[in-house]
Amino acid sequence: MSAGSLTILVIDENRIRASIIEAGLRDAGHRHVTVVHDVAGIAKRIAEIEPDVIVIDLENPNRDMLENMFQLSRAVKRPIAMFVDRSDRASIEAAVEAGVSAYVVDGLKKERIKPILDMTISRFNAFSRMARELEEARSELENRKVVDRAKGILMKSRGLSEEAAYALLRKTAMNQNRKIADIAQSLVTAAGLLGPLEGE
């Protein structure tokens, strides 16, 4: 995505600081920049604007303000760069946990906006890719467990070998145009409803 096509939302109650960020973004070639000075009802504004990237600037933020912004970060699942004047270790850790891609302490200068924004986007993309791969691996593992349980049920109830049980699951899945894991889950659920099998 080119710089000019990104929609960027700047959240900043301080108009002078907001103008520094906006100038830095426009110098970097960003044309679609929206600045919001009031954080009240910000979730609704984000839904309306649908930004690709969010830049939040908090001058001397208090705990509540930070916590609100971190909650927002968790909810919106977009690259977020957050500028703060000062911070403590707990706030920095909370920012990382909340999924803030760049948490910049005392670094609001016009010429730093572009490199920080670029880093924010690439970090967010890398983190999203890792999270997606982790979710796929977890799902794959869950599916394998369910298929193994379904095979066990078929082997016990029908006296099949492991290969024959798997072949039956696969054939049923193909006939019903469904995934093997879905067929296995149905079988495991049904077996659970019927109660323990003989000999279990």
Phi, psi of 53 (to 5 degrees): -140, 145
* Residue bearing tokens 């699942």: 77
The domain limits of the chain are 3-108, 135-194
Structure confidence at residue 92 (pLDDT): 84
Could you tell me the two tokens for 87? 């911070």
Question: Would the CA dihedral through 50, 29, 26, 72 be positive or negative?
Answer: positive
CATH code of the region 3-108: 3.40.50.2300
* Residue bearing tokens 């003989």: 198
Q: What is the pLDDT along the chain (200 residues), one digit of tens a residue?
A: 555 688 999 999 889 989 999 999 988 889 899 999 887 788 888 888 899 999 999 877 777 788 888 888 888 888 999 988 887 888 888 888 888 888 888 778 888 888 888 888 888 888 889 888 999 999 999 999 999 999 999 999 999 999 999 999 999 999 999 999 999 999 999 888 876 554 44
Structure confidence at residue 152 (pLDDT): 93
| CATH architecture of residue range(s) 135-194 | Orthogonal Bundle (1.10)
- Do the domains 135-194 and 3-108 match in fold? no
